[in-house]
Structure formats: structure tokens, C-alpha cells
Amino acid sequence: MRSNISAVPSSCEEGIAEYRKALELKESRASTAQSASVATIRTNLANALTIIGNNLSGSATEIPSEATRRYEEAIAQYEKALELEPNQPAIHRNLGLLLAHLGRFDEAEAHLRATLQIVPNEPTAQETLKEIEAQRP
């Protein structure tokens, strides 16, 4: 089980740092602060944070605190990306998957259903919704 930040390859941390720099540059300019490219950077940052959280969690039955911190930051980044691109199905899907992984099924379901509103046959959203529904009494 991986339980600390040193278990994360330095290249992952470098990637996160690059996304943060890119966000800082884009958001410092009024002309690009609310752009689709900022949403893309935020989504990529959230994806990377999720991957790191998954790597830190490994097969642990309880999510380590550092992984939880990464997941919460990923959720915040996805939500900010959705403020800029509310009809982007990949953001809804990825956020829904992360929330489902964390056991936050009601929130996950809302984002997965939003995905299916935009892309009715999106297989990952459909499958995850079925899994959530199967777990309910």
C-alpha cells in the first residue's frame, strides 16, 4: 500500500506543476481567464490529480489522507471546469466516476446523467450508473 507523497513518481508531480503554471498564465490575462482552454487545463489537472490519488490509494481498503486531498482538489478542478464548459460530457463523466469511487453516489449519479443527456450512449456513464443502481436497496 502506498501511503505518502514519495510514492508518486516525480514526473506526475512535475506534470501537476506544469498544469498549475499554465492555469496561472491563462487566468492572469482577462482575455483568456474564462476560456475553453482554461477548462481543458483544469480538466487535465483534475485527471492527473485523480490518477495520483488512485496511485496513492493502491488496493488499500481505506483511502489515505494524501489521496483524499488529491481527490478533493480534483473535484474542485472539475467543478471549476464545468463552470466554464457546462456541456462538456467528459468533465461530467470523469467527475461522476471520481464521485462514485468515493462513494458519493447521489452526486455521481447527477453528473453521469448529465453526461448521458449530452451523449446518450456513453458506455462508461451507462455502466457506472448501472453499478450505482445495483448497490442501492
Residues 44 and 62 in one domain: yes
pLDDT score recorded for residue 88: 96
Q: Does residue 2 belong to any structural domain of this protein? A: no
Instruction: Report the predicted TM-score, pTM, of the whole model to 2 decimal places.
Output: 0.86
Domain check: are 40 and 78 in the same one? yes
Range of the domain at 92: 87-137
pLDDT digit string, tens, across residues 20-64:
998 888 887 766 667 788 899 999 999 999 999 999 988 778 899
Same domain, 73 and 16: yes
- The 3-state DSSP class for residue 31 equals coil
What pLDDT, on the 0 to 100 scale, is given for residue 59? 79
Q: Using an 8 Å Cβ cutoff, are 121 and 95 in contact?
A: no
Query: Residue 5 falls within a domain, yes or no?
Result: no
Q: How many structural domains compose the chain?
A: 2
